[in-house]
């Protein structure tokens, strides 16, 4: 069920969001030459839509790790059910580059172990401290990725810790009123988050919000997955733009 109280204002707030991101906090560019065999599209060229639309970044981190199976279909649903105007496709962006500061929401997902570089940790810290939001999701409910993410967040934000987000949190009542999380297998673990100044800046699903039903050649690989993830992801996008 959609709520009506935020839909009218989302378009205006989304246009103002980038002005909230503190561009003065951007570090000097850290872009280096691509590794051998590494092909990474330029973020500015991927979506092909006007720059005035809301753009969501798909993180490239720890070398060449990135999401291959996180569906961007929720961006289309957001356009259908709200006044949010999106590019409809994720834009690849390196966590270690200054371009990351141009996105109000970035997707961080994958499987297996990983370790961030110092430049990536520095950018991640500045990104969330200056208005950005990270949507993190363990592909295939990967326990190795889960451990790595928790370790990296503890290094980047040592004074904060992931904690369960209760279902009465505003996150679950922006565009849709979501009373429960549903999963492919059993009762899912709650979403977890980190807040700064009363605002969620990291939202994490150990089960997975990837929506592999809307990606080609992908599945949850025997792991679990939140099945009402599209509505959850639309709410996360709306929360990122309105809080």
Pick left, alpha or beta for residue 140 (phi over 0 → left; psi -120 to 50 → alpha; otherwise beta): left
pLDDT in the model for residue 127: 98
Q: Is the pLDDT of residue 10 over 80?
A: no
Q: Which of 201, 162, 207, 199 is nearest to 181 (CA)?
A: 207
What the block records as the tokens of 112 is 């297996």
Terminal Cα distance for the chain, rounded:
21
CA dihedral 210, 213, 219, 220 (to 10 degrees): 50
Q: What is the mean pLDDT of residues 80-98?
A: 93
Chain-centroid distance, C-alpha 80: 20
More confident call, 217 vs 152:
152
Q: Is the pLDDT of residue 239 over 80?
A: yes
Q: Which of 193, 191, 197, 192 is nearest to 129 (CA)?
A: 197
pLDDT in the model for residue 21: 52
Q: Distance between CA 92 and CA 45 in Å, rounded? A: 10
The answer to whether the predicted template modeling score (pTM) of the entire model surpasses 0.85 is no
Q: What is the mean pLDDT of residues 208-230?
A: 78
pLDDT in the model for residue 17: 46
Q: Is the pLDDT of residue 203 over 50?
A: yes
What the block records as the tokens of 63 is 């070398």
Q: What is the largest CA-CA distance in the chain?
A: 50
pLDDT in the model for residue 219: 57
Q: Which of 154, 147, 148 is nearest to 194 (CA)?
A: 154
User: Which residues make Cβ contacts (< 8 Å) with residue 216, sequence separation at least 6?
Assistant: none
């Amino acid at each position: 069920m959609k709520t009506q109280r935020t839909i009218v204002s989302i378009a205006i707030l989304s246009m103002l969001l980038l002005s909230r991101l503190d561009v003065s906090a951007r570090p000097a560019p850290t872009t280096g030459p691509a590794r051998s065999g590494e092909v990474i599209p330029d973020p500015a060229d991927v979506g092909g839509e006007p720059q005035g639309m809301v753009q969501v970044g798909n993180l490239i981190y720890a070398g060449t790790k990135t999401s291959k199976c996180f569906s961007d279909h929720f961006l289309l649903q957001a356009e259908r059910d709200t006044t949010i105007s999106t590019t409809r496709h994720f834009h690849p962006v390196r966590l270690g580059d200054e371009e990351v500061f141009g996105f109000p929401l970035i997707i961080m997902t994958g499987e297996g172990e990983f370790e961030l570089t110092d430049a990536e940790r520095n950018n991640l810290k500045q990104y969330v401290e200056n208005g950005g939001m990270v949507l993190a999701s363990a592909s295939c409910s990967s326990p190795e990725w889960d451990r790595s993410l928790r370790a990296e967040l503890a290094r980047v934000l040592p004074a904060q810790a992931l904690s369960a987000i209760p279902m009465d949190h505003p996150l679950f009542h922006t565009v849709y009123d979501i009373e429960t999380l549903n999963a492919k297998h059993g009762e899912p673990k709650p979403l977890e988050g980190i807040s700064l100044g009363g605002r969620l800046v990291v939202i994490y699903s150990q089960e997975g919000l990837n929506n592999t039903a809307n990606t080609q050649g992908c599945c949850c690989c025997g792991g679990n997955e939140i099945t009402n993830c599209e509505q959850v992801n639309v709410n996360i996008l709306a929360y990122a733009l309105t809080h």
